[in-house]
């Protein structure tokens, strides 16, 4: 079942020309369009389905600096700064608030892991601290009976996935961007080796630059353009509850659960460290690049082979730009959640906090997460096709750093000073080691 998402109506007319075309209407694409439009650029955002209908509305809503890969921390800090002022900036409600986020530790081994992260992250002046004893109960009443410590970041926050990307898209339109839904981009055109336009299912748009923020679809799109983007899809499962009184305000996760309070008084709940990776043909094509990640995260990723293998085996990987594409055949990825995983989360959370034993599950859903080999996104230009930029591979971290990532992508396209150092997100990092070995 798809989660509820605010509807954004499409502009009726396909522009014949724009300075920049953004492909993908999730949190990354809409943020990129907003910041480009604010810079005064001519922007068209093309979404094959509905704004925010895929992973941008299916995530937990966490906007965090805590626990991130060190390469992402500067971007997360800038993004959190943007989140804090976003409602005022766009004159719309993204649902953002700052209840803080806590990681609850059951063992001293888990505490050591959090302390190691904090030691590395202190160089960025992160607002995280380790709590023990009664200080944990102040966050989550009764937590100290089961948890030995908690890593807490009081300034981390949460936004509403059903509202955020649509609100930002409407703000981008108010700033001058065209927003086209149900309008798949079939591919890019080049002239003299650089981007000269895109071909959509509704016609051609001449442009100087393209930003691909296609989430789980990005590898397929890139492949048709002759670019090998290493990216696989992982299934995350989530459920929401009916309004529940007496529950904690803080957003928190333990080793096997995660919860956050919604604006409607219910909770978004998931099973942590148990995403499902369906084995597909790409799993074999990219096996060597993903082996280190699989080893490092052994036990946290559940491999599965089933219908998705045959579905992706039967999906066309190349097409001409006058042909209908897989993007038109599947407007919205709406995978079924793994019910057993959701039940594990429900049972574990109810055992840890009795208040959740009386929760009523309202609905559950699945979402396909775009994952790179090092679980860090790609944000930057593709050297082989000047004018073609990627903003993808956010590996389940994209919602929280969406505004910062959109600002960084906009800075790079515009040739402005980037909000953070873009080097950790360069596309070329996936081939640099292989070139040196050769």
Q: What are the φ and ψ backbone dihedral angles of 72, each rounded to 5 degrees?
A: -95, -15
pTM of the entire structure? 0.96
pLDDT digits (tens, 9 = 90+) for 182-207: 999 999 999 999 999 999 999 999 99
Q: Are 403 and 396 in contact (CB under 8 A)?
A: no
Predicted pLDDT of residue 219: 98
Burial class (CB in 10 A: 0-12, 13-18, 19+), 150: buried
Predicted pLDDT of residue 301: 79
Nearest CA among 420, 385, 409 for reference residue 24: 409
Percent residues over pLDDT 70 in the chain:
98
pLDDT digits (tens, 9 = 90+) for 306-356: 899 999 999 999 999 999 999 999 999 999 999 999 999 999 999 999 999
Predicted pLDDT of residue 90: 98
Predicted pLDDT of residue 438: 41
Helix segments in 242-325, DSSP class H = 281-285, 287-296, 307-313
Q: Give how far Cα 249 sits from Cα of 262, 263, 411, Å.
A: 9, 11, 36
Burial class (CB in 10 A: 0-12, 13-18, 19+), 148: middle
Residue 123's CB is within 10 A of a number of other CB atoms, namely 9
In DSSP terms, which residues pair with 253 in a beta bridge? 103, 258
Q: How many angstroms separate the CA atoms of 108 and 116, rounded?
A: 12
In DSSP terms, which residues pair with 116 in a beta bridge? none
Quote the Cα angle for 382-183-398, to 5°. Answer: 50
Predicted pLDDT of residue 1: 66
Place of tokens 């009443």: 141
Total residue length of the chain:
438
Quote the Cα angle for 387-391-392, to 5°. Answer: 135
Taking 3-state DSSP, the helix, strand and coil percentages for the chain, each rounded to the nearest 5, stand at 35, 25, 40
Predicted pLDDT of residue 436: 45
Low-confidence ranges of the chain (pLDDT < 50): 435-438
Q: How many angstroms separate the CA atoms of 197 and 205, rounded?
A: 6
Predicted pLDDT of residue 37: 98
Predicted pLDDT of residue 351: 93
Predicted pLDDT of residue 297: 73
């Amino acid at each position: 079942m798809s989660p509820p998402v605010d509807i954004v109506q499409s502009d009726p007319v396909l522009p014949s020309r724009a300075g920049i075309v953004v492909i993908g209407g999730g949190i990354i694409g809409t943020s990129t369009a907003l910041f480009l439009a604010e810079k005064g650029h001519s922007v068209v955002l093309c979404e094959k389905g509905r704004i925010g209908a895929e992973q941008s509305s299916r995530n937990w809503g966490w906007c965090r600096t805590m626990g991130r890969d060190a390469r992402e921390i500067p971007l997360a800090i800038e993004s959190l700064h943007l989140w804090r002022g976003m409602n005022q900036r766009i004159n719309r409600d993204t649902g953002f608030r700052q209840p803080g986020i806590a990681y609850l530790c059951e063992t001293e081994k888990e505490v050591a892991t959090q302390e190691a992260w904090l030691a590395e992250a202190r160089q960025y002046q992160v607002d995280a601290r380790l709590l023990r004893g009664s200080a944990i109960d102040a966050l989550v009443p009764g937590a100290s009976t089961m948890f030995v410590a908690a890593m807490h970041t009081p300034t981390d926050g949460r936004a509403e996935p059903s509202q955020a990307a649509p609100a930002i898209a409407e703000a981008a339109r108010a700033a001058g961007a065209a927003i086209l839904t149900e309008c798949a981009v079939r591919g890019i055109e080049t002239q003299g080796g650089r981007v000269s336009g895109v071909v959509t299912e509704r016609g051609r748009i001449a442009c100087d630059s393209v930003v691909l923020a296609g989430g789980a679809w990005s590898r397929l799109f890139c492949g048709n353009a002759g670019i090998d983007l290493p990216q696989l899809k992982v299934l995350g499962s989530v459920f929401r509850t009916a309004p529940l009184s007496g529950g904690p305000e803080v957003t928190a996760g333990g080793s096997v659960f995660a919860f956050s309070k919604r604006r409607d008084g219910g909770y978004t709940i998931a099973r942590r460290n148990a995403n499902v990776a369906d084995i597909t043909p790409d799993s074999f094509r990219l096996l060597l690049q993903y082996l280190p990640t699989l080893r490092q995260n052994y036990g946290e990723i559940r491999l599965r082979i089933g219908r998705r293998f045959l579905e992706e085996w039967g999906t066309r990987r190349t097409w001409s730009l006058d042909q209908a594409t897989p993007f038109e055949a599947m407007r919205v990825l709406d995978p079924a959640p793994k019910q057993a995983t959701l039940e594990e989360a429900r049972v574990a959370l109810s055992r840890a906090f009795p208040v959740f034993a009386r929760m009523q599950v309202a609905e559950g859903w699945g979402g396909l997460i775009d994952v790179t080999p090092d679980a860090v996104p790609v944000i930057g230009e593709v050297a082989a096709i000047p004018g073609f930029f990627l903003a993808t591979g956010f590996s389940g971290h994209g919602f929280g750093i969406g505004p910062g990532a959109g600002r960084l992508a906009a800075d790079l396209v515009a040739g402005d000073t980037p909000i953070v150092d873009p080097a950790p997100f360069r596309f070329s990092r996936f081939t640099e080691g292989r070139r040196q070995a050769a």
